[in-house]
Copies of this chain bind each other. A is one copy, B any other.
């Protein structure tokens, strides 16, 4: 006995309601998504700054189309597989915002040769030389951003590093077009007051503009000044000199962004649907069938003022149970418990009860799933299933 006589393990018919979905499953609230998209795009439009949305969170053409309803817009990608996927769906203007590796230079130039205006990121003369050679081999002129380090978060050169000019010179010598400078205020994720976020945004802007001015003063064209992180995108008060903003997690938001102070829990557009499989009242536990495989191992709120465990628990309609969190997770089991130092009583959730879990980190949680089950507020209907892409 082999193969085709085995039925699909999922429900015998495709579920059309949230209540009928097999769990765990990823839900996406379309109304919240649209509201989050509109919030940042109108904020940037008001400031005359291009919004180059980062697709690393959603990894979905359907979400990208909602972000750019008028047709393919400028996007940021985190892998070359994303670049390929969005290009196959008509997007052409994109920035691959990960420091360039030699094999990535070759792949990027193949995409460029195929008509994709793919810009890459680097911060060294070695990378400039590698990119120039890859462009030459592919018969295209590469376009690259120099990565600027505005807060010590990761890669990039400081605005005052003498290497900045050296890299620009190396790009010119290698036959690479300088697209501009790019920075990311990654340290803003660890902040939690409006004042600190405003200051982080202003620092990101000021460092980016200073780097661009340094290049221009040395005779290098630097058309694009690209900044961005979801917190700074929402708290920047002045964007003078900045030409584009990058952000990704703003589409969905999550508990980390809630802890930073960028959104409310009512803005969080994705949740994990799970089913109660048992209760251990003597331990104060409710067991569900969503563990870290469904929620991800991300514990980003552990370093924040309020630790949300592996997520906050809502009922099927999205209403939060007071102080109920996913306190522990193994691969396919989650343990719900009342937050420590709370006087709230564990709710009575019989076996089979469905709950929705708001995630710590939308990028990590969504990546554990094949597709989004699209829902709207106030309705049990699954309106669509939007696939996600993955890989590199």
Residues on A facing B (Cβ under 8 Å): 1-12, 22-25, 56, 78-81, 83-84, 87-90, 92, 98-104, 106-107, 110-111, 113-116, 123-124, 126-127, 130, 152, 154-155, 186, 275-278, 280, 283, 287, 289, 292-294, 296-299, 330-333, 335, 350-352, 361, 363-364, 367-370, 390-392
Complex CA gap A84/B7 in Å reads 7
**In the complex with contacts A333-B154, A364-B297, A278-B351 CB distance below 8 A:** no
B80 touches A9 (CB 8 A): yes
Complex CA gap A87/B8 in Å reads 10
Q: How far, in Å, is A190 (CB) from chain B's closest CB?
A: 12
Complex CA gap A363/B292 in Å reads 10
A392 touches B22 (CB 8 A): yes
Task: Determine which of B56, B335, B390 lies in contact with A331 in the assembled complex, contact meaning CB atoms within 8 Å.
Answer: B56
Q: How far, in Å, is A121 (CB) from chain B's closest CB?
A: 9
Which chain B residues border A2 with CB–CB below 8 Å? 88-90
B7 touches A114 (CB 8 A): yes
Give me 16 A-to-B residue pairs in the complex whose CB atoms sit less than 8 angstroms apart, sorted by A's number: A3-B89, A6-B88, A6-B111, A6-B114, A8-B84, A10-B107, A22-B104, A101-B275, A101-B351, A102-B351, A102-B352, A123-B278, A154-B330, A294-B392, A297-B297, A331-B363
Cβ-closest chain B residue relative to A368: B367
Cβ-closest chain B residue relative to A333: B154
Question: Number of copies of this chain in the oligomer?
Answer: 2
A287 touches B99 (CB 8 A): yes
A104 touches B155 (CB 8 A): no
A280 touches B155 (CB 8 A): yes
A88 touches B3 (CB 8 A): yes
Which chain B residues border A275 with CB–CB below 8 Å? 101-103
A332 touches B78 (CB 8 A): yes
Q: How far, in Å, is A388 (CB) from chain B's closest CB?
A: 11
A278 touches B9 (CB 8 A): no
A392 touches B78 (CB 8 A): no
Cβ-closest chain B residue relative to A293: B367
Task: Determine which of B9, B115, B293 lies in contact with A84 in the assembled complex, contact meaning CB atoms within 8 Å.
Answer: B9
A332 touches B79 (CB 8 A): yes
Which chain B residues border A84 with CB–CB below 8 Å? 6-9
Which chain B residues border A369 with CB–CB below 8 Å? 391
